[in-house]
Structure 1
Amino acid sequence: MKDVTLLGDGWGLRHEDAVLPARVPGCVHTDLLAAGLIPDPFIGTAEHEVAWVGDRAWTYVARLAAETAHERTDLVFDGLDTAAEITLDGEVLGRTRNMHRSHRFDVTGRGGELQVRFAPAREEAEAVRKTVGDRPNVYPAPAQYIRKMACSFGWDWGPTVVTAGIWRPARLEHWSTARITQVRPLVTVDGARGRVEAHLTVERTATGAGRPLTARASVAGVDTEVTFEGTEAILTLDVPEPRLWWPRGYGEQPLYEVELTLYDEGGALDVWRRRVGFRTVELDRTADEHGTGFTLVVNGSRLFARGVNWIPDDVLPSRITPERYRHRLTQAADANIDLVRIWGGGIYEDDAFYDVCDELGLMVWQDFLFACSAYPEEQPLRGEVEAEARENVVRLMPHPSLVLWNGNNENLWGFRDWGWESELAGDSWGGGYYLDLLPRVVAELDPTRPYTAGSPWSGTWDHHPNDPAHGTHHSWEVWNRRDYAEYRDSVPRFVAEFGWQAPPALATLRRALPGEALAPHSPGVLHHQKAEDGNGKLDRGAERHFVLPEATEAGFDRWHYLTQLVQARAVAAGIEHWRSHWPLCAGTVVWQLNDCWPVSSWSAIDGDGRLKPLHHELRRLYADRLLTLQPAPDGVVLGLVNQSAAPWRAEVAVRRMTADGSVTAEAPLTVDVPPNGAVRTPLPDRLTIGGDREFLVADVDGLRALHFPVPDREFPYPRPEFDVGVEPVTGEVSTVDVVVTAHTLVRDLLLQPDRLAPDAVADTGLITLLAGERARIRVHGWPEPDAGQARSAFFCVEPA
């Protein structure tokens, strides 16, 4: 049987005249941090102080003992970042230039000093650029000339921390006769029958050549076997009436373990195990009178995708543990998210990521790793791209959560709309990858899933790549130049990116900027804002609705609250509008769920893992049932969305009220919303707002929607008055209920729990209370509760 020796211990990292202890998996930055030789790049402006690390060559060293009990010993690296030369006792085993694939070297009967020398990534990229010529890029770094996590070189939400190292596990594999090199499980459902068609490939030693081998496979109590003499075999397992895997909210997520064992006459040689799920997935891109659709269909059910974009959760990705994946993805599921798009400037995540998605019912949209650049299609890149794609398609295809392969992020759009076409003058730019190579690889290896050439992409060059009427659309003009109310001006078929920025939690900023007097434009705050004119856009977005405080230390707390509030409101404006137009619009994918360091960004969860108000708002926006009031050309429209399997008879109470709390008109409305349906209905004339002192409130089944006819700075809010009390929760340590009682209209009241204690978490985000209403907010992780402190941690909209 194959034996495996993990190579996690005993490594050293050569630094000047010393050899530092090194961890594998890890990277140079984590080893230097552990040795106290560099500052944390996330703190203050230390990013600049560690820039030299990415511009040096680094060598990892270890001792390998020779092994002779098996015919063959392979040295296997699951991930080398990135341009590496591997030697054993001075002899070169091989050279690598791709972070996104594994590498294997024959070291049979050999031992001695193992060295893995990493050249600077920029040096490797520049050498390739000299060979293939310049290509356009949104960012100045040469990221498209090396198969490395593009955001290592910096992004508009990430630092420039150019990593190097053995970033995924290393091991020795000892084997005889034959080993399993690949299993491709094609999992399909036909009526009441599920099928696993396992395509097996093996490698043989010289003595194992031509010897009969037997492969046995089992799943769900079904067994089969096949005997073969070559290097390939197919094993088919038909499972009667398997339980179907469903996205969260639509059903359960049953998983079945497939086990495939390779034998010769002497016994077992190797074994492969994975969990699979039985389900069908299609992408409906049918043309209709509105354009071209883009609707995910799982097990025959058409879905509105409630999505978020995912970036690497740490700029040093070797630090991301399975526990961290589970925590972050559970936070996503808690916000009623059902789709996570893995963005093309990052990495193919660890299997632990997809395992959690399988279990939680989070659909995964997987980008191939191309983003915001023109990519050369010449060697040495083309061969690396194909090898990388083939390996990762096969690695990830067992996961039922994976529902879509996507060729790239924004490169088709860039070619047509950002001046690339003329600048390239006929040079390759990646189109051959997205429109030829990658779809062929997916069709050959994983025909059970749909492929789309890019995001955004209209499906054909006959339409603009980012045409909202065709396929996927990225909506960035609103954040960059307009008011968030303008999300309501169109109904794209599928919004694959849109978002609004906000700063991280106060405790996150204080940790990242120790000793700094925080102000909207203080040096550290600006350093942790990577978007072009990011704070200017934050200010302009807020000023359309509020009177901003002075940009000083004294005004920071108010600015912080208002910019977080506007982020939540902006995303709400888009999702409420687009969901209410289901099935014309079939999904929204918010940019973005997470951060890779403490930064002002579009995230719902900040770089320290704290929830922004947006996260709580997503929980409301992505719930099965959504109530909304939206301005329309002919007045205000009541929108109701029912993404559940049961019909919804909604008895809605709508009130027209004044700022002082008086009800000037009211109307009960009964609206029938079908399962998986949405209804938009106009309000009766008596609810028409008569001036800028009135607003609308709609309530049904615990849901509330509000409509104010003018920006907040023009509405005559009363001075907010509310009481705050603290009640311990019996049997729960450091847990209290904060009880708020309103005496006036209190709009968008927010408790910022990290102001109570750095690790405190609240179960509620923004709430609006009418006079006489009460809210109960549960806070965990607050060891010394105090009502006065709680009162000081609240913010709300105030009169201009």
Structure 2
Amino acid sequence: MKDVTRLDQGWSLHHDGEFLPARVPGSVHTDLLNAGLIDDPYLHTNENDVAWIGHRDWTYSTRITADGTHERTDLVFDGLDTAARITLGGTELGRTRNMHRTYRFDVTGLAGDLAVHFTSPYQEAAEVRAVTGERPNIYPEPFQYIRKTASSFGWDWGPTLPTSGIWRPARLEHWSTARLAEVRPLVTVAGGTGRVELHLTVERTATGAGRPLTVRAAVDGRTAETVLDGDTAVLTLDVPDAALWWPRGRGDQPLYDLDVTLADPTGPLDTRRQRIGFRTVELDRSADRDGTGFTLVVNGERLFVRGVNWIPDDTLVTRVTPERYRTRLTQAADANIDLVRVWGGGIYEDEAFYDTCDELGLMVWQDFLFACAAYPEEQPLRGEIEAEARDNVARLTPHPSLVLWNGNNENLWGFRDWGWEPELAGDSWGEGYYLGLLPRIVAELDPTRPYTAGSPWSGSWDHHPNDPDHGTHHSWEVWNRRDYTEYRDSVPRFVAEFGWQAPPAHATLQRALPGERLAADSPGMLHHQKAEDGNGKLDRGIERHFALPADFDRWHYLAQVVQARAVATGIEHWRSHWPRCAGTVVWQLNDCWPVSSWATVDGDGRLKPLWHELRRLYADRLLTVRPTADGTLEAALVNQAAEPWTTTLRLRRLAADGTAAADTATETTVAPRSVTRLAVPAALTPADGSAKEFLTADADGLRAVHFPVTDRVFAYPQPEYEVDVRPVPGADGIVDVTVTARTLVRDLLLQADRLAPTASADHGLLTLLPGEQAVIRLTGCPPVTPEAVRGALFAVEPF
């Protein structure tokens, strides 16, 4: 039977003639941090002080002993970051140049000092560039010439910290006769019967060559068995009445254990256990009168996707534990998100990521790792990219949460719009990967899932790559140049990226910038703003609706309000146009360090107001009021649930002081998975340009508001409210805050982290009418006074 020796102890990192204790998995940055030799690069401007690390070569070493009980011993690295030379006892075993692959070396009978010598990622990139020639990208870093995490070289939300190290587990595998080299289940469903088509590859020792082997597979009490004379086999198992795996909100997520055993007459040689789920997935890209659709269909049901983009949760990726994956993905699920797109500038995530998505019902859209650059198609990169794709497609096939493979992020768009085409002058740039190599690999290894060539991508060169009427669309004119209200100017078929920035929570900034007087343009704040003219865009976004405040606390609050409102404007508009628009994927869920960014959850794991807004926007039932093209108002009731929604829609035209000028109630029923649009009667519509009236819409506890003018023009009263604070009996650290409005209070926000870094609130932005109450529950909160709570409360004020 195969034995495994984990190589996670006894490693050293060579540094300036010394041997530092090293962790495996780990990286040079984390080892130097643990040794106290560098300061935390996430604090202050320390990132600049550690730039030298990425420009140096590094060596890791340990000692291994020989195994005398098995015919074969393999040295296995699940991930080496990135260009490395591996030696054992001074003899070279091999070289690597890809972070995203697994490597295996035969070390049978060998022992001694094992060393992994890493070349500087900058040096490796320079050597490849010298072979392939120059290619354009959007950042002044050479990430397209090396197969490592592109964003480790910096992005418009991330620090420049290119890492080196043994970043995934290392081990010795001792085995005899044969081992399971690949177990690749293709799972389908037809007529209620689940089918597992199990593709197997074995590797044999010399004595195992030609020996009959038995492979046995079992799932849900069904078994299949075959005698293997060669090195490959295909077994089929049928599971009648298989329980279907559904995306969250559509049903349950039953998972089945698939057990595979390889044996010879003496007994088992190797085993493998994987979890699988039965479901079908299709991508409907049919042409229609509006263009070309892009609709995910799971188990025959057409979905409006409620998604977010995912980046590495830490630039130092080895610090992301299974527990951290579960925390972050649970935050996504709790916000009613049902799809996570793993973005192409990051990594193929750890198994713990996909396991958690399987359990939570979070669909995964997986990018191949190409982003925002022209990628050479010549050697040595082409062979690496094919091996990388084959490795990861085979690895991820068991996961029912994985519903889509995507060729790249923005590279097809970049070729057409970003000046690459004339600059390349006919040189390769990646098209052969996205339209040739990758779809062939997916068709061969994983034909159960759809593939799309890129995001955005219209489906062919017959249309502009980012044409909103065809396929996927990235909406970045809004944020970069336009006001968020202009999201309403179009209805893309599927919005795969859009978003708006805001700073992180106040307590996150205090931790990242200790001792600094916080200001929008303070040195630390500017260093933690990586977007081009990021603060300028934040300021302009605020100024279009509010007077730009000089006070930092007020600026911080308004920036978060604008982020939440911007994303809400887009999602409300696009959801109301289902089924023409079949999904939104917000940029982005998470951050990799404490930074001003588009994230919903900041770099310390704190929820921005946008998270609470997403929970409302992505709920099965959504109510919104929006202007139409002819200048009238329309109430849209979106029902994504499986049951009809029968409700009373109450519309009120109110004066700024909260008194009602007109009031009506209408009974309506919204069919399942559909949208009902109702015209707002003229008598309920505030006069165009009025600074003294607004509209509220209420239905089953949902509220939408419409103000005919911007906040800086509207005649808001000074917000007045009462605050009551009561600890919850018997619940340590839990406090209920009751706010009673005496005037109109718009976008009330309790920033719980200002009361204590550990505190969090269960509500985000709230709009209250005079006399209304809201109860905000705080957790992780020490005893606080009403005065302290008032100091953490913010609301829109008159200008």
> How far did 1:633 drift?
2.5
Matches of residues 496-575 of structure 1 in structure 2 within 5 Å?
Answer: 496-550=496-550, 555-575=551-571
SS in 1 for 2:215: strand
In 2, the alpha carbon distance for the partners of 1:348 and 1:681 equals 45
Q: Secondary structure at the match of 1:202?
A: strand
- Compute the displacement of 1:632 (Å): 1.4
Q: Distance in 2 between matches of 1:766 and 1:67?
A: 63
CA positional deviation for 1:731: 2.1
Please give the alpha-carbon distance, in whole angstroms, between the structure 1 residues aligned to 2:281 and 2:224: 26
**Structure 1 position 788, deviation (Å):** 1.2
Letter matched to residue 762 of structure 2: D
Q: Which moved more, 1:74-83 or 1:786-795?
A: 786-795
**What's 2:590 paired with?**
594
Alignment match, 1:653: 650
1:679 aligned residue (666, 676, 690): 676
Following the alignment from structure 2 to structure 1, what is the Cα–Cα distance between the partners of residues 665 and 691?
23
Looking at structure 2, the residues matched to 417 and 237 of structure 1 have their Cα atoms a distance apart, in angstroms, of: 49
Per mean C-alpha deviation after superposition, the further-off stretch among 532-541 and 691-700 is 691-700
Cα offsets for 1:487-542 (capped at 9, x unmatched):
00000000000000000000000100011000111110000000000000000000
Offset of residue 783 of structure 1: 1.8
| 1:660-703: CA deviation from partner (whole Å, max 9, x where unpaired) | 11100111122321101112221112112122210000111110
For 2:126, the equivalent position in structure 1 comes to: 126
Corresponding residue of 2:405? 405
1:719 Cα deviation (Å)? 0.5
- State the distance in 2 between where 1:626 and 1:354 align: 29
Q: Work out the CA distance in 2 between the residues paired with 1:56 and 1:297.
A: 48
Secondary structure of the 2:798 match is coil
Counterpart code for 1:602: W
| SS class of match (2:502) | coil
1:557 to partner: Cα distance: 0.2
**Partner residue of 2:764?**
765
Deviations 1:260-293 (A, max 9, x none): 0000011000011110000000000000000000
Secondary structure at the aligned position of 1:208 is classed as coil
Residue 788 in structure 1 maps to residue 787 in structure 2: yes
Tell me by how many angstroms 1:317 deviates: 0.3
Equivalent residues of 2:340, 2:362 under 8 A apart: yes
C-alpha distance in structure 2 between counterparts of 1:730 and 1:263, whole Å: 60
Show the 5 A alignment for 1:234-633: 234-550=234-550, 555-633=551-629
| Residues 201-229 of structure 1: per-residue CA shift (max 9 Å, x gap) | 00000000000000000001111110011
Matches of 2:68 and 2:109 in 1, distance apart?
6
Q: Secondary structure at the match of 1:479?
A: helix
Instruction: Name the aligned partner's letter for residue 83 of structure 2.
Output: A
**Percent of pairs with identical residues:** 72
Secondary structure in 2 matching 1:714: coil
Structure-1 separation of matches of 2:10 and 2:731: 44
Q: 3-state DSSP class of the match of 1:672?
A: strand
Give the superposition deviation at 1:150.
Answer: 0.1
- Inter-partner Cα distance in structure 1 for 2:345 and 2:192: 40
1:407 and 1:604 mapped to 2: Cα distance?
Answer: 25
Tell which deviates more after alignment, 254-263 or 666-675. Answer: 666-675
Give the length in aligned residue pairs: 796
> 2:223, 2:237 within 8 Å by CA — same for their partners in 1?
yes
1:441-479 C-alpha deviation (Å, 9 max, x unpaired): 000000000000000000000000000000000000011
Q: Which ranges in structure 1 are unaligned for 5 or more consecutive residues?
A: none
1:106 is matched by which residue type in structure 2?
Answer: D
Moved more, 785-794 or 16-25: 785-794
Q: Measure, in 2, the Cα distance between the counterparts of 1:244 and 1:730.
A: 43
Distance 2:416 2:422 in 1: 9
Q: Tell me how far apart the structure 2 counterparts of residues 129 and 40 of structure 1 sit (CA, whole Å).
A: 32
- Counterpart CA distance in 2 for 1:212 and 1:722 is 80
Q: How far off is 1:230 after superposition?
A: 0.4
Task: Give me the whole-angstrom Cα distance separating, in 1, the residues matched to 2:410 and 2:181.
Answer: 34
The Cα offsets for residues 352-386 of structure 1, whole Å up to 9 and x where unpaired, read as 00000000000000000000000000000000000
Q: Which amino acid in 2 is paired with 1:607?
A: G
TM-score normalised by L of structure 2: 0.99
The aligned counterpart of 1:86 is 86
Counterpart residue identity of residue 587, structure 1? G
Counterpart Cα distance in 2 of 1:140 and 1:449: 35
- The AA in structure 1 aligned to 2:240 is P
Does the residue aligned with 1:185 lie in a helix, a strand or coil? strand
Residue 153 of structure 1 is matched in structure 2 by: 153
Q: Secondary structure at the match of 1:712?
A: coil
CA distance in 1, matches of 2:727, 2:266: 66
Could you give the per-residue CA deviations for residues 586-618 of structure 1, whole angstroms, max 9, x where no partner exists?
000000000000000000000000000000000
Q: Which ranges in structure 2 are unaligned for 5 or more consecutive residues?
A: none
Deviations 1:534-584 (A, max 9, x none): 00000000000001112xxxx000000000000000000000000000000
Paired with 1:497 and 1:478, the residues of 2 have a C-alpha distance of: 11
TM-score by length of 1: 0.99
Which stretches of structure 1, 4 residues or more, deviate above 4 A after TM superposition? none
Amino acid paired to 1:534: G
For 1:680 and 1:171, locate their aligned partners in 2 and report how far apart those are by CA, in whole Å. 60
Name the counterpart of 1:799.
798
- 1:24-45 Cα offsets, whole Å, 9 max, x none, are 0000000000000001000000
For residues 153-183 of structure 1, give each alpha carbon's deviation from its aligned partner in whole angstroms, at most 9, with x where no partner exists.
0000000001000000000000000000001
Structure 1 residues 674-683 or 59-68, which shifts more? 674-683
Q: Are residues 1:52 and 2:52 paired?
A: yes
User: Secondary structure, in 3 states, of the residue corresponding to 1:511?
Assistant: helix
- What is the alpha-carbon root mean square deviation over aligned residues? 0.6
Return the offset for 1:650.
2.4
Question: Structure 2 CA distance, aligned partners of 1:219 and 1:688?
Answer: 61
Residue aligned with 2:712, SS:
helix
| Counterparts of 1:679 and 1:102, CA distance in 2 | 51
Distance 1:681 1:486 in 2: 22
Distance (Å, rounded) in 2 between the aligned partners of 1:40 and 1:117: 25
- What is the distance in 2 between the residues matched to 1:335 and 1:190? 33
Q: Distance in 2 between matches of 1:296 and 1:468?
A: 17
2:732 is paired with a residue whose SS is coil
- Cα separation, 2, equivalents of 1:486 and 1:732: 46
Amino acid at match of 2:43: I
Look up the match of 1:689. 686
1:700 alignment counterpart: 699
Q: Secondary structure of the residue that 1:782 maps to in structure 2?
A: coil
The equivalent residue for 1:726 is 725
C-alpha distance after superposition, 1:250-269 (max 9, x if no partner): 00000000000000011000
The 5-angstrom pairing of residues 94-113 of structure 1 reads: 94-113=94-113
- What is the CA deviation profile of residues 48-106 of structure 1, one whole-angstrom value per residue up to 9, with x for unaligned ones? 00111111100001000011110000000000000000000110000000000110000
Whole-Å separation in 1 of the counterparts to 2:686 and 2:30: 59
Q: What amino acid maps onto 1:197 in structure 2?
A: E
Q: What is the Cα deviation at residue 651 of structure 1?
A: 1.1
Q: Is the 8 A contact 2:727 2:783 kept in 1?
A: no
- Counterpart of 2:662, as a letter, is A
Q: Deviations over 1:124-163 (max 9, x none)?
A: 0011001000001001101000000000100000000010
CA distance in 1, matches of 2:116, 2:677: 62
Aligned-pair CA distance for 1:192? 1.4
